[in-house]
Structure 1
Amino acid sequence: MTADYLIVGQGIAGSVLAWTLHRRGKKVVLVNSSHLPSASLAAAGIFNPLTGKKLVRTWKADQLFPFLTAFYGEVERELKIPLLHFSNIYRPFRSVEEQNSYLAQTSDSSIGRYVAESVDNQQYQPYIHNPFGGLEVTRSGWVDVPVFLNAIRLFFQEQNRYIETDFDAKGIEIRANGVLWQEGVYDKIIFCEGPHAHRNPLFDWLPYNPVKGQVLDVTMDNYPVTSIVNQGAFIMPVESNRYRIGATYTWHDIDWQTTEDGKAFLQQKVQGLLKVPYRIVGQRVGIRPATKDRRPLIGLHPAHPAVGIFNGLGTKGVSLAPYFADQFADFLEGRKELDPEVNIERSFSLYYSGKNVG
């Protein structure tokens, strides 16, 4: 087999990049180990232009959000699957002080453009504790990540360009103008291995900072709220009577095990938010492929120009992946440079000062 690109890993990053390159007329082969635990399959898939306790605009929101809408909308149409679920995010104020602070911030047009002009707080009152009212973030929602990943896999399987196997980076032969793997010849190999990337000897020098996260799957019988609610924890409608509550963030005990501590933390968070009872029907865990400077890791290996990486998308993978996959594709085609904030050149000193020198 020969192809322009061999993409290793079929989470959000690998799937978005594979589709982006395919739509540009490139021949892409996807390699994946579907039995490995996946951060993407545990992800809620929320896209949110205003985050954090202080109502901070998401990095590059003005570029990311129009792009993600166009990208997932195109995938919906091409593959005939429901992916994009637009939903305002209701943020109840914790105090009068927070109310005043948030409302003052919305006078800044860079924040205000993502906030609804008026909010019907009464519709939430029977179900959500909101004594001080709240605001609604707009241009937000969620992507059905499992549906997206399954559709991309099926598409490449039908093209006979999907290989299910445990990939070992030591099994490739790197040449100046490409790579050889299992009798196949590829112009470039791009690693999109998510939280498993630290085991890759070609890129184990990069500054990964994985974050463990847990979410609860719950049912509620009397909760007609269709917006995502977020105050310390999010409550996201998924389908009839089914909801997701999340998420935890821990930088220790980085494993794929759900914990009672995680469950208790989310129950405590939602206790002061929800007025109606709920039943826990499942618990999920993921390891987010975050980085120490909270910016993606994208680019080509300092010693091997046929070897690249598209990783480190952290907690905002569904938002970041479409925009930066497009930028990476332009870079790979020699059309433009990568944004310095995401280019792995910013970490090349770690490579040259480490065990990989020479």
Structure 2
Amino acid sequence: MTADYLIVGQGIAGSVLAWTLHRRGKKVLLVNSPQRPSASLAAAGIFNPLTGKKLVRTWKADQLFPFLKTFYGEVEQELDAHFLHFTNIYRPYRSVEEQNTYLAQTADSSISQYIAETVDDHQYRPYVHNPYGGLEVTRSGWVDVPVFLNAIRAFFQQSNQYIEADFNYNELEIRAEGVLWREQSFHHLICCEGPHANQNPLFDWLPYNPVKGQLLDVTMNNYPVTNIVNQGVFIMPVESNRYRIGATYTWHDIDWQTTEDGKAFLEQKLQGLLKVPYQIVGQRVGIRPATKDRRPLIGIHPAFPAVGIFNGLGTKGVSLAPFFAGQFVDFLEGRKELDPEVNIERSFSLYYSGKNGE
């Protein structure tokens, strides 16, 4: 046996799952294609317990956020890397009506636990438009995804558990007790290919709904705000005088090309929020591996018990991956069942209807 698990894809999903398996004493081999563009490398990596215009608590926030804090903190310590950044998210009110609505919502303890009791609106006023004040979301922040991925890659490279290769499914032999790939044997194959999963012949029947997103990299010389500001777009401090602006959401023209339309949209939103000058120094694009029901796609193939998938984490990959990787490993090792909301069993009818239609 070459390894317990063969993991295809080293984005957020594959990296978190590989590390979780490693920490559980399992030997993994990571295979990652250098040719494919990476959604994870373009991701802002923000984790936010309260999202949307209506200030909705993120699904399973009470479980996800303590878990991610522990998970990423331990990886930082073990790999001597720094990629986890805790920062509040300041949300200026758009109107008096929105202010009243949000303040009424904070009476709910499930919401108020994620909101700062006091906010100094004056510290933001010279830099962003906030005539009605705003609120600050707590227990939020961002993961520097490229730094995290590089640290994980370096670890598995050092132990000869990482291969750069275009994974060809024609080279795969699936058996009842495991899989063979390039004369190497594994108990399980787990597919973590993000937005490229619809090209995977084993799982192309799943209900993917990819979302294209674009970001701007900007510099500003007179913007000392250290928190993320979010109203229509987010302004995220990355390093000295450098900031990330995002993001667009489009479900059409799903390709890896930046567009002038995307840039114009972000600039329009930014100019309505920001009071100080900025300079665009870069534009990036990613395709989020989202799903039609906005829930991850995790589980075992209906016909091949040795083959699984860990995908569909969408826009909240850095938040969802640690918790559900732990749950998936428990499931794979026979300890507990998967949450039915993420288990791909909910979509098995698509697989069987496709087979019957052949």
Partner Cα distance (1:221, 1:350) in 2: 53
Which amino acid in 1 is paired with 2:235?
A: I
Q: Secondary structure at the match of 2:216?
A: strand
Partner of 1:265: 265
- Offset at 1:34? 2.3
| CA deviation vs aligned residue, 1:52-85 (integer Å, no higher than 9, x gap) | 0000000000000000000000000000000110
Contact between 1:299 and 1:345, CA under 8 Å: does it hold in 2?
Answer: yes
Q: Secondary structure at the match of 1:353?
A: helix
- Offset at 1:313? 0.1
Partner of 1:114: 114
Q: TM-score if structure 1 supplies the norm length?
A: 0.99
- Offset at 1:170? 2.3
Partner of 2:72: 72
| CA deviation vs aligned residue, 1:266-302 (integer Å, no higher than 9, x gap) | 0001111000000000000000000000000000000
Identity %: 84
The number of equivalent residue pairs is 358
User: In the alignment, is residue 278 of structure 1 matched against residue 312 of structure 2?
Assistant: no
Alignment of 1:152-171 (within 5 A): 152-171=152-171
Partner Cα distance (1:76, 1:175) in 2: 37
Contact between 1:179 and 1:186, CA under 8 Å: does it hold in 2?
Answer: yes
User: In the alignment, is residue 62 of structure 1 matched against residue 62 of structure 2?
Assistant: yes
Alignment of 1:241-260 (within 5 A): 241-260=241-260
Computed over aligned residues only, the root mean square deviation of the Cα atoms, in angstroms, reads: 0.9
Partner of 1:102: 102
Which amino acid in 2 is paired with 1:172?
A: L
User: In the alignment, is residue 340 of structure 1 matched against residue 340 of structure 2?
Assistant: yes
Partner Cα distance (1:357, 1:86) in 2: 50
Partner Cα distance (1:67, 1:35) in 2: 32
Q: Secondary structure at the match of 2:206?
A: coil
- Offset at 1:35? 2.5
- Per the alignment, do residues 197 and 266 of structure 1 end up closer, same or farther by CA in structure 2, a change over 3 Å counting? same
Partner of 1:145: 145
Which amino acid in 2 is paired with 1:223?
A: Y
Q: Secondary structure at the match of 2:254?
A: coil
- Per the alignment, do residues 186 and 152 of structure 1 end up closer, same or farther by CA in structure 2, a change over 3 Å counting? same
Contact between 1:220 and 1:278, CA under 8 Å: does it hold in 2?
Answer: yes
Partner Cα distance (1:39, 1:301) in 2: 24
Partner Cα distance (2:137, 2:169) in 1: 43
Q: Secondary structure at the match of 1:263?
A: helix
Partner Cα distance (2:246, 2:215) in 1: 4
Partner Cα distance (2:325, 2:357) in 1: 29
User: In the alignment, is residue 352 of structure 1 matched against residue 345 of structure 2?
Assistant: no
Partner of 1:306: 306
Partner of 2:321: 321
Moved over 2 A (4+): 355-358
Partner of 2:228: 228
User: In the alignment, is residue 200 of structure 1 matched against residue 200 of structure 2?
Assistant: yes
| CA deviation vs aligned residue, 1:226-245 (integer Å, no higher than 9, x gap) | 00000010000000000000
- Offset at 1:174? 0.2
Which amino acid in 1 is paired with 2:55?
A: L
Partner Cα distance (1:117, 1:247) in 2: 28
Partner Cα distance (2:170, 2:199) in 1: 11
Partner of 1:188: 188
Q: Secondary structure at the match of 1:73?
A: helix
Task: Out of 184-193 and 167-176, give the one that drifted further.
Answer: 167-176
User: In the alignment, is residue 83 of structure 1 matched against residue 55 of structure 2?
Assistant: no
- Offset at 1:168? 1.2
Contact between 1:351 and 1:357, CA under 8 Å: does it hold in 2?
Answer: no
Which amino acid in 2 is paired with 1:163?
A: I
- Per the alignment, do residues 356 and 189 of structure 1 end up closer, same or farther by CA in structure 2, a change over 3 Å counting? farther
Alignment of 1:21-36 (within 5 A): 21-36=21-36
- Per the alignment, do residues 123 and 217 of structure 1 end up closer, same or farther by CA in structure 2, a change over 3 Å counting? same
- Offset at 1:169? 1.7
Partner of 2:296: 296
- Offset at 1:357? 7.6
- Per the alignment, do residues 206 and 356 of structure 1 end up closer, same or farther by CA in structure 2, a change over 3 Å counting? farther
Partner of 1:52: 52
- Offset at 1:130? 0.1
Q: Secondary structure at the match of 2:5?
A: strand
Partner Cα distance (1:268, 1:343) in 2: 40
Partner Cα distance (2:171, 2:342) in 1: 28
Which amino acid in 2 is paired with 1:43?
A: A
Partner Cα distance (1:18, 1:73) in 2: 16
Q: TM-score if structure 2 supplies the norm length?
A: 0.99
Partner Cα distance (1:180, 1:114) in 2: 47
The gaps in structure 2 that reach 5 residues or longer are none
Partner of 2:93: 93
